[in-house]
Amino acid sequence: MSDEDSVALPNDEQFRYAMEAAPTGMIMIDRQGHIVLVNGQVERIFGYGRAELIGQPVEKLVPERFRHAHAGFRSSFFVSPQTRLMGGGRDLFGLRRDGTEVPIEIGLNPLHMDGADFVLSSVADITERKRNEREREELFVELQHLNAELEHRVEARTAELSATLREREVLLQEVHHRVKNNLQVISSLIAMQARRIDDGSGRTALEECQTRVQAIALIHEQLCRAKDYARIRFVEYAKTLVRNVFRAAGVSGNVVELDLQVDDAALTVEKAIPCGLILNELVTNALKHAFPDGRRGKLVVLFERRSDGRLRLMVSDDGVGLPKDFDARTCPSLGVHLVRTLAEQLEGELSVTSDSGTCFELIFLERASA
Amino acid sequence: MTRAEPLAILIVEDERVVARDLEEMLGDLGYRVTGVVSSGAEALHSMNREPAQLILLDIRINGPLDGIDVAVILRRRFEVQVVYLTAHTDEVTTERAQETQPLGYLSKPIHIAELQAVIGRAAARIASQPRSDV
C-alpha cells in the first residue's frame, strides 16, 4: 500500500473489541478496496493470518473468476453506499488461503470515520447451511423418486388387481351362463319327455319338475344380471318367479289377484335356492288347489326381514283351504314334502294354518346356525 | 303367402336339445319352423332355401359370428325380424342387440307361456307391417 493510499486505521478500542466479538467474520476495507481491519472469524474462514490480509486488496479473498467484476461492484458501492446484502441473491464464494472456495454470505455496511469512507462487511461462512440445503434437496429428490416409484407400484398393483377382478367376474359370469344353459337343456329334456306322455298325471308331474329346474335357473340368471355373484335381491327374483308360475299354471291375474309384498333383502345363493324352490312349490300348490273351477281369489306372497333379524316367507290364499285331516308331516304330496325338506335345510320353522284359505309361513335365519 | 298361414320361424340355437324343444313348443303353438340351425352360415343357407319371417336367435352360437352379427347380415339380405334368446348379457352386447331392432327377448330357461307371449307379440307386429313385396 502506498502512502497516498494509506488511511488511518480506526483505533477506537471499543470498535475493535466489538468487531472481534462479532459472531461472523468482519472485514473493513477502505475506498480503494484495501483491507484495513479483520477479526478472528475472518482468519478462521479464510485461513489467513491477520497480518497477511491487512493492507491487501480485498479481491485477494475473491475467487479468480469473480475478481474483475468484484472491483467494479466495489467502486459502484461507494457511489451510492447503503447497508445491504451483497450479491443480490446470487451464491457468493470466498477464496481460502489453500485455494479452496468457501460459500459465504456478505452484508455490506458503509462507514464514515475520521473523514474517510469505509465498507464494513460481515462475512458468514454458510458451508453448513449450503450442505444442509444440498442434503435437503437430495433428500427431496430421493423422496420424489421414492414417491414416484410407490405411485407406480400402487398403479401397477391396482391394475393387476383390477385385471384379476375382471377375470374373476368373467369366469363367474361364464360359470353361471353355463350352469343356466345346462339347466335349460335339462328343462328342455323334461319338457320333451312330458310332451310324449299321454298319461295326464305323469305329464303334470314332469311339468312341475320342469318349473323346479327353472326356479333354480332363475337364481343364476338373477346373479348374472346383477353381476353380484354372492347375493341375490329376492324381490326381483320373487316377482319373476311368481309371474312365471302364474303363466305356467295358466292362471290370469284377473282370476287370482296377486299381492306381492317383498322386502328388498338380499340372500346368499345357499339360502336363495331353497327359499326360491319353497316359494315355487307354495305358489304352484295354491294355484293348483286353492281356486278350483275358476274360483276367484287372492294370493298374498310376503317376504320380510323381521325386527329380530330373522326372515319370514309367507304364502297365503283365500281359497278353499286344506282338507281337515291335512298334516304337512304326513302329506304324500311331493310339493309339500319338498317344502318341509327345504325348510329343514334352511333350519327354519314351518307352520301351516287353514282357517279361511291356507297360509304357509316359514321363518328362518339368514345365516346358518353354528 | 296369405295372412292365414302360420308365421314361419327359423331357430338358430347351438344347444340342439334346447332347439328341438323350441321347435316342438312352436309347433304346439301353431307356428311353422323352417329350420333348426346352430351357426350363422347355416342360418344363411336355411334362409336362402326357405325364407322365414322371424328368426329365433341365440346370441351365443357356434362359428365366428355371434347371434347379433348374424341378425345384422340376415336383416340386410332378407325381410326378417328377430327375437333373441338370451341368458343374461352385458351392456355392450345389449346395446349391440338393440341396434338390430329385435321384436323381443326370451330369457332361458324358456317356458312355453313366455314363448307364446313373446312370439305372439312379434307375430302381431309382423302381421301389422306392410310387406315390401306386395
CA distance A361 to A142: 68
For residue B93, the chain A residues in CB contact (below 8 A) are none
- Within the 1-60 window of chain B, which residues sit less than 8 Å (CB to CB) from chain A? 15, 17-18, 20-22, 24-25, 28, 60
Confidence of residue A370 (pLDDT cuts 50, 70, 90): very low
* List of chain A residues whose C-beta atoms are within 8 Å of the C-beta of residue B88: 173, 176-177, 180, 221, 224-225
Tell if the CB–CB gap between B108 and A221 is shorter than 8 Å: yes
Mean pLDDT for the stretch of residues A158-176: 88
In sequence order, what E strands does A191-285 have?
231-233, 256-262, 266-268
Say whether B88 and A177 touch across the interface (CB within 8 A): yes
- Binary contact (B25, A221; C-beta < 8 A): no
Residue A184 to chain B, least CA–CA distance (Å): 5
pTM over 0.90: no
Interval A97-142: pLDDT, tens: 999 999 999 999 998 888 888 999 999 999 999 999 999 999 999 9
A3 against A38, higher pLDDT: A38
Return all residues near A172 (Cβ < 8 A) that are at least 6 apart.
A229
Decide if B109 and A177 are in contact by the 8 Å CB cutoff. no
User: If we measure between CA atoms, which residue out of A236, A331, A309, A241 comes closest to residue A277?
Assistant: A241
pLDDT digits (tens, 9 = 90+) for B84-125: 997 656 678 888 888 999 999 988 778 788 899 999 999 999
Contacts of A173 (CB under 8 A, 6+ apart): A224, A227, A229, B88
Q: Give A-chain residues touching B117 at CB under 8 angstroms.
A: 247
DSSP A231: E
- Distance from the Cα of A161 to chain B's closest Cα (Å) equals 21
Alpha-carbon span B54 to B7, nearest angstrom? 8
Distance from C-alpha of B69 to C-alpha of B65, rounded to nearest angstrom: 6
Rounded Cα–Cα distance for residues A284 and A248 (Å): 9
**Can you state the angle between helices A234-249 and A200-226, rounded to 10 degrees?**
150
Indicate the average pLDDT of chain A: 88
Return the SS3 of A118.
strand
Give the CA dihedral A232, A237, A239, A240, nearest 10 degrees: 150
What's the average model confidence in pLDDT over B13-36?
93
**What does DSSP say about strands A92-95 and B104-107: parallel, antiparallel, or unpaired?**
unpaired
CB spacing of B108 vs A181 below 8 angstroms: yes
pLDDT at B2 over 60: no
How confident is the prediction for chain B on average, in pLDDT? 87
Query: Where do the DSSP E strands lie in chain A?
Result: 25-30, 35-38, 84-85, 92-95, 101-113, 116-125, 231-233, 256-262, 266-268, 297-305, 311-317, 349-353, 358-364
Residue type, A86: M
Specify the pairing of strand B81-86 against strand B104-107.
parallel
Question: CA-CA distance, A112 to A134, in Å (whole number)?
Answer: 39
Q: Which pLDDT score is estimated for A57?
A: 94
Average pLDDT over residues B5-17: 92
| pLDDT score at A294 | 85
